[in-house]
Amino acid sequence: MRNDTVSKDWRSKLINPVLDKEFRLRMRTPRTMWTLLAYLFAIGLFALSSIYLLNMSSGNTASFNPTESRILFYFLSFVQLGLISFMAPGLTAGVISGERERQTLNLLLTTQQSSTTIILSKLLSSLSFMILIVISTLPIYSMMFLFGGISPVQLLLVFCFYLFLMIVIGAFGVLFSTLVKRTMIAVILTYGVTLFLYAGTALIGYVAIMVSMQVSGNSSSNEWIAHIFAWNPAVAMYSILDPNITREIVYSGSGATATEPILQLWQEFMLIYLVLAALAIWLSIRYLRPRMKQNRK
């Protein structure tokens, strides 16, 4: 009896009413099942197509070359990175503005739940579906372990990177959803920021390399350019798959390879965006009830 009481207390602390309601609404609809099925079908189709194309390019259609499993792992990792970056803004950018448009936000704010609980519950519930989708792709990744060439540590780091990127994009989405009244505008802003993280930082980094080569030639390292590429999710994840990419960017064109960089690009990426995600969540909590705070003054 006492154990049941203790377990209920812990459950009430971990799953508050807002989170419980979001879980029920998101997971008990047919759309959830069909979305999960479509995602797994797309990833499986990419995997089978990649195996077929690799066999055709190597000229060996009877069996799969174990040395090509690493290429397939890279390919699947980037495909999943793109799908996560495409789906996360759509799942998170309307969590607050959607409540506002349905005129249920004021009712939610009158409950005993704090702003912190509401924001974190909305973020966690929206990301839980993405986490479920990513975990469900593990059997597809297990095909590559049959051929070797991939370490479990690499797979674990890649999935941790996925989880971290979901939180970052989700934090931006919740922030725009809190600040902007219209869901459509919040979605556009979140997709714009996500696009800048990929294309914008890559373009800035490429221009920086060209300028550095023209100004200083090949006499100095490009460590400051590596800090620009550390903002790019694709480059950061590639540094997990190939740790040498950090050194190649830092010493590109200089010929110096004596010292190792202090941080890998993915480590610097996590430090930067950990601060930005925490700031976005704090601003979301701060501005969830701006009018109520102004009235108190």
| 288 CB-near residues (< 8 Å, 6+ apart) | 96, 109, 115, 118, 119, 178
**Which range in 117-121, 268-272, 290-294 is most confidently predicted, on average pLDDT?**
268-272
Let me know if residue 293 belongs to a domain. Answer: no
Average pLDDT, the chain: 80
pLDDT band, very low/low/confident/very high, at 252 (cuts 50, 70, 90): low
Let me know if residue 10 belongs to a domain. Answer: no
Let me know if residue 252 belongs to a domain. Answer: yes
pLDDT band, very low/low/confident/very high, at 222 (cuts 50, 70, 90): low
Q: Look at residue 41 in the predicted model and tell me its pLDDT.
A: 86
- Determine the average pLDDT of the residues in 270-279: 95
Let me know if residue 103 belongs to a domain. Answer: yes
Domain enclosing residue 90, as ranges: 15-288
Let me know if residue 53 belongs to a domain. Answer: yes
CA dihedral 136, 140, 145, 147 (to 10 degrees): 180
Total of domains in the chain: 1
**pTM tops 0.85, yes or no:** no
Cβ-contact 113, 18 below 8 angstroms: yes
- Cβ–Cβ contacts within 10 Å for residue 203, how many? 12
Tens-place pLDDT, residues 162-216: 999 999 999 999 999 999 888 899 999 999 999 999 999 999 988 887 887 777 6
pLDDT band, very low/low/confident/very high, at 115 (cuts 50, 70, 90): confident
Between 260 and 121, the higher pLDDT residue: 121
pLDDT band, very low/low/confident/very high, at 90 (cuts 50, 70, 90): confident
Let me know if residue 243 belongs to a domain. Answer: yes
Let me know if residue 9 belongs to a domain. Answer: no
First to last CA, the chain: 48
pLDDT band, very low/low/confident/very high, at 220 (cuts 50, 70, 90): low
| 229 CB-near residues (< 8 Å, 6+ apart) | 201, 202, 205, 235, 236, 249, 265
| 185 CB-near residues (< 8 Å, 6+ apart) | 176
Neighbouring C-alpha atoms within 13 Å toward the C-beta of 34: 3
Let me know if residue 84 belongs to a domain. Answer: yes
User: What distances in angstroms separate CA 32 from CA 27, 99, 174, one per listed residue?
Assistant: 6, 20, 21
Q: Look at residue 9 in the predicted model and tell me its pLDDT.
A: 57
- Determine the average pLDDT of the residues in 31-55: 81
